[in-house]
A = this chain, B = another copy of it.
Amino acid sequence: MSREQEQKVFLDNLLEHGFFIPMGEPGLFGRTSKFENIIKGLEALIVSATGEEEVTYFPPVMPRKILEKSGFMDSMPHLAGLVHCFCGNERELPALKEKMANKEDWGQMLSMTDLSHAPAACYPLYPTLSGTLPAGGRLVHLGTTCFRHEPSPDPTRMQSFRMRELVRVDSADNVLDWRESWFERAIDFLQKLGLKPERVEASDPFFGRGGRVMANNQREQKLKFELVVRVYENGPLLAVMSLNYHQDHFGTQFEIKTADGETAHSGCMGFGLERIVLALIQRHGYDVSAWPSEVTALLGLS
């Protein structure tokens, strides 16, 4: 089977076996309790595996200025989602309705608001850390519904998806030590669920030709690792977790200082919730009651 056929078969099965409800747009799915109960089990398992019980939840939208300040629009502008609204008055509404009725583009009659979507769980966090960190820095557990504009027929590549992230902010050494402490533990976390992850050097999906240079730098400096699993025989490997080191990028942009007064460095570990669950379904089958009992026990499903 070709990659495209495998993706279609997987999606058809997810619909047929009652995990997803089609919404008529690529990368958007309604989710049933059958799917969400696995997500909830996974969220609880992340809490127990990390020991980080306190979770900060940001809404799916955030101040647009975070997108601007963070440099996201320079490096991955094609993935950003901005919130536009109709800010006109009653005299302007008929023209908008006419364009809509004629199936013309009415988007240009809207105005950009002060809000954008969160492209990753950690973006809304950084402005809240501006200033001086406590001694020992911070470790924050985040849960956010993220958005990336990348419509795809592959059910593992959603436009709206949930991430859990652990974000470590402190000196370079402490951030790198923390990240390294998770290399084996993260593999172990996924292996206990019956997955066969591999850790690979990776790069972000930077935009355009300039982006290729950025991606090469990122790989050379080993800033990004992904834990990948095989879900398609002929498809690309699926990244279900990532372990990132941002150097002082966010510390500089958002003026975050360590207790010593140095610009803070940051790193994060991201869990792609839907992707981990999809990898579990692909690995253990569509009948959750027939999954290995160790796995359902870990997920609180048995």
Residues of A within 8 A of B (CB): 21-25, 28-33, 36, 53-63, 65, 68, 73-74, 77-78, 80-87, 89-90, 93, 96-97, 100, 105-108, 110-115, 117, 124, 127-128, 145, 147, 149, 151, 158-160, 207-210
Contacts and interface: CB of A to CB of B under 8 A. Distances in A.
B85 A80 contact: yes
B82 A78 contact: no
A288 to B, nearest CB: 15
A287 to B, nearest CB: 17
A107 B93 contact: no
A122 to B, nearest CB: 12
Nearest to A108: B108
Given A30-B58, A96-B73, A84 B81 contact: yes
B108 A145 contact: no
A68 B111 CA distance: 18
Contacts of A111: 105, 107
A229 to B, nearest CB: 23
Contacts of A97: 73-74
A262 to B, nearest CB: 25
18 contacts: A25-B62, A28-B62, A28-B115, A30-B58, A36-B57, A60-B145, A73-B86, A74-B97, A77-B93, A81-B84, A81-B85, A81-B113, A82-B83, A84-B112, A93-B208, A106-B112, A110-B112, A113-B149
A55 B82 CA distance: 29
A84 B57 contact: no
A61 to B, nearest CB: 5
A83 B83 contact: yes
Given A33-B54, A60-B61, A107-B111, 19 more contacts: A21-B56, A23-B128, A24-B127, A28-B63, A30-B128, A31-B57, A32-B57, A59-B160, A80-B85, A81-B85, A81-B113, A81-B115, A82-B107, A83-B83, A84-B112, A89-B208, A90-B208, A90-B210, A113-B149
